[in-house]
Amino acid sequence: MSGTFVGMPAFPKAAHEAVGNQTLRANLRHATHTIRAKRAAAVAEVSDWAELREAGKRIKDHTLRHLDRYLVQLEESVTAAGGVVHWAADADEANRIVADLVKETGESEVVKVKSMATQEIGLNEALEAEGIRAYETDLAELIVQLGKDRPSHILVPAIHRNRGEIRDIFAREMSEWGRPAPEGLTDTPAELADAARLHLREKFLRAKVGVSGANFMVAETGTLVVVESEGNGRMCLTLPETLISVVGIEKIVPTWRDLEVFLQTLPRSSTAERMNPYTSTWTGTTDGDGPRTFHLVLLDNGRTDTLADEVGRQALRCIRCSACLNVCPVYERAGGHAYGSVYPGPIGAILSPQLRGTGSEIDASLPYASSLCGACYEVCPVAIDIPEVLVHLRERVVQGGPVTREGNKVVLKPAKGHGAERAAMRAARWAFGRPGALRAGQRLASRTRRLHPRTLPGPGRAWSGTRDLPVVPAEPFRDWWQRTNGGTGDEGTAK
């Protein structure tokens, strides 16, 4: 399996292959069900969850609606605290900036904190091409990196792997990257965690350059926040001499006080903990403590295009907790790889097609990777109405229309392959506007019900290939209503 998502097939094809993988389905079912129950308990502990959720939503919305002002304020405060701010319009520019900064230090390796932004831009591959080796230090990212695999979950990128598979990857691959796995390594999680501790420690201790993302950036103070569990984040943020943080521009909150909302909602939503083991905050550089040089790379890479969509921009409220993945019936069965992006699951289905556009087969299919059940919206700690955005994006795919790409307004053509759907909708509009024709059609359908095929012919086959056709009732509803006088049983008076 390759380490990138380039050339992914459309979601239905990838998902079809994934659901046939029994191990994958068992692993995902086990993990998502474990975390679901725990999250519900952690959320139930706080009586004001609804109010925290509403405040989180409003803080993020307000920030996004004044993002230019807060970006400038953040730049000023980070600079005043001793940091250096860089701006990257796209992935290539961000990768170029980071590679040049690493080269300036004279180093050829970096240690990395788990970061969605650097996954999104393919930083590791870009650094590799420049002769710089990037070591992932989060346990799950390490499993993915050693296994030459792709991430399949926002919080736990190796969620598709069970303990036995992890043991095999460690035993086989660790020696290629540094300290080998201990002899006789078993598959108990504590032993696997210990193997990772030993393997990575030498890398932490000698590291001169750390690369991170951030969960939050505070405009008012210039403070960055990293929320983590293992301590690998603390290692990367404090031991190296140079720290480079690549952060999406939507990660801003206006004030220090705003953290009081998200530091309550994020841990409970993601790992179902009252508080995650470690949270680090830093403001520029501190004499004698931590890195001497701090660079902040502010990343656009499709975020401003997403911001231009009045319905879709709410996706930028996302704090990457992954609660929506854990409750999603589609994610649980299809797995993260089928989404063809570092952002899988419901949030990925609305984020990827907006960040990347709907030009590719996979991105055009993602808005359909949902049953619209709404469980994702229920659990979202910043109340992103994912079903609303999914429907909005489906409309854009089918009908086309104005969108913003790389800052320019363009008009999308309707996607191919939706001709039958459009024809069916046109026919429905015609019939529903003509009660006589509708009645005649319904009666005809009822009388011929025994002759109906189980699947649709021609272009309709794509629809009925994964669905049962509804059985037509023996009597149309409107006839029944008239005959029974609206269900009162008073037969015979009408008609």
Q: Which two tokens stand for residue 43?
A: 């959320």
> Phi-psi bin for 322: left (phi > 0), alpha (psi -120 to 50), beta?
left
Contacts of 179 by beta carbon, 8 Å cutoff, 6+ apart: 198, 199, 202
Residue among 286 and 446 whose Cβ is closer to another protein: 286
Q: Measured between alpha carbons, how far is 94 from 73 in angstroms, rounded to an integer?
A: 21
CB 42 within 8 A of CB 377: no
b/e burial code for range 327-356 (CB count within 10 A of at least 16 → b): bbebbbebbbbbbbbbbbbbbbbbbbbbbb
Closest CA to 322 of 374, 267, 280: 267
Backbone angles phi, psi at 45, to 5 degrees: -65, -25
Q: Which two tokens stand for residue 79?
A: 């600079």
One character per residue 93-122, x = contact with another protein (rule: CB under 8 A): x-----------------------------
Start-to-end CA distance of the chain, whole Å, equals: 66
Count of positions on this chain that bind another protein (CB under 8 A): 103
Q: Which two tokens stand for residue 299?
A: 């990343």
Asked if residue 52 binds another protein (CB under 8 A), the reply is yes
Q: What is the smallest separation between the CB atom of 263 and another protein, expressed in angstroms?
A: 5
Q: What is the smallest separation between the CB atom of 337 and another protein, expressed in angstroms?
A: 17
Asked if residue 137 binds another protein (CB under 8 A), the reply is yes
Residue among 34 and 448 whose Cβ is closer to another protein: 34
Q: What is the smallest separation between the CB atom of 464 and another protein, expressed in angstroms?
A: 36
Asked if residue 411 binds another protein (CB under 8 A), the reply is no
> Among 282-290, 418-426, 430-438, 462-470, which window interacts with another protein (CB under 8 A)?
282-290
b/e burial code for range 300-326 (CB count within 10 A of at least 16 → b): bbbbbbbbbbeebbbbbbbbbbbbbbb
Ranges of H-type helices in 321-418: 323-327, 329-334, 345-355, 361-365, 375-379, 386-399
Contacts of 207 by beta carbon, 8 Å cutoff, 6+ apart: 109, 110, 111, 235, 236, 239, 240
Residue among 11 and 204 whose Cβ is closer to another protein: 204
- Going by the DSSP 8-state scheme, the letter that residue 2 receives in this structure is -
Task: Report 359-398 residues binding another protein (CB under 8 A).
Answer: none
Q: What is the smallest separation between the CB atom of 114 and another protein, expressed in angstroms?
A: 10
Q: Which of 9, 19, 25, 54 binds another protein (CB under 8 A)?
A: 54
Residue among 271 and 365 whose Cβ is closer to another protein: 271
Residue among 335 and 476 whose Cβ is closer to another protein: 335
For 142, the 3-state DSSP assignment is helix
> Among 230-238, 340-348, 458-466, 478-486, which window interacts with another protein (CB under 8 A)?
230-238
Task: Report 426-455 residues binding another protein (CB under 8 A).
Answer: none
Q: Which two tokens stand for residue 298?
A: 């502010």
One character per residue 76-95, x = contact with another protein (rule: CB under 8 A): -----x-----xxx---x--
Q: What is the smallest separation between the CB atom of 379 and another protein, expressed in angstroms?
A: 15
CB 330 within 8 A of CB 378: no
Backbone angles phi, psi at 242, to 5 degrees: -125, 135
Q: What is the smallest separation between the CB atom of 429 and another protein, expressed in angstroms?
A: 30
> Among 53-61, 332-340, 372-380, 453-461, which window interacts with another protein (CB under 8 A)?
53-61
Residue among 65 and 422 whose Cβ is closer to another protein: 65
Q: What is the smallest separation between the CB atom of 93 and another protein, expressed in angstroms?
A: 6
Q: Measured between alpha carbons, how far is 365 from 415 in angstroms, rounded to an integer?
A: 10
Q: Which of 35, 318, 321, 351 binds another protein (CB under 8 A)?
A: 35
Residue among 254 and 441 whose Cβ is closer to another protein: 254
Q: Which of 24, 27, 136, 442 binds another protein (CB under 8 A)?
A: 27
Q: What is the smallest separation between the CB atom of 163 and another protein, expressed in angstroms?
A: 6
Q: Which of 59, 169, 247, 398 binds another protein (CB under 8 A)?
A: 59
Q: What is the smallest separation between the CB atom of 318 and another protein, expressed in angstroms?
A: 17
CB 352 within 8 A of CB 343: yes
Q: Which of 2, 47, 466, 488 binds another protein (CB under 8 A)?
A: 47
Task: Report 236-265 residues binding another protein (CB under 8 A).
Answer: 237-239, 249, 254-261, 263-264
- Going by the DSSP 8-state scheme, the letter that residue 283 receives in this structure is E
Task: Report 151-210 residues binding another protein (CB under 8 A).
Answer: 155-156, 158-159, 162-163, 166, 189-190, 192-194, 196-197, 200-201, 204-206
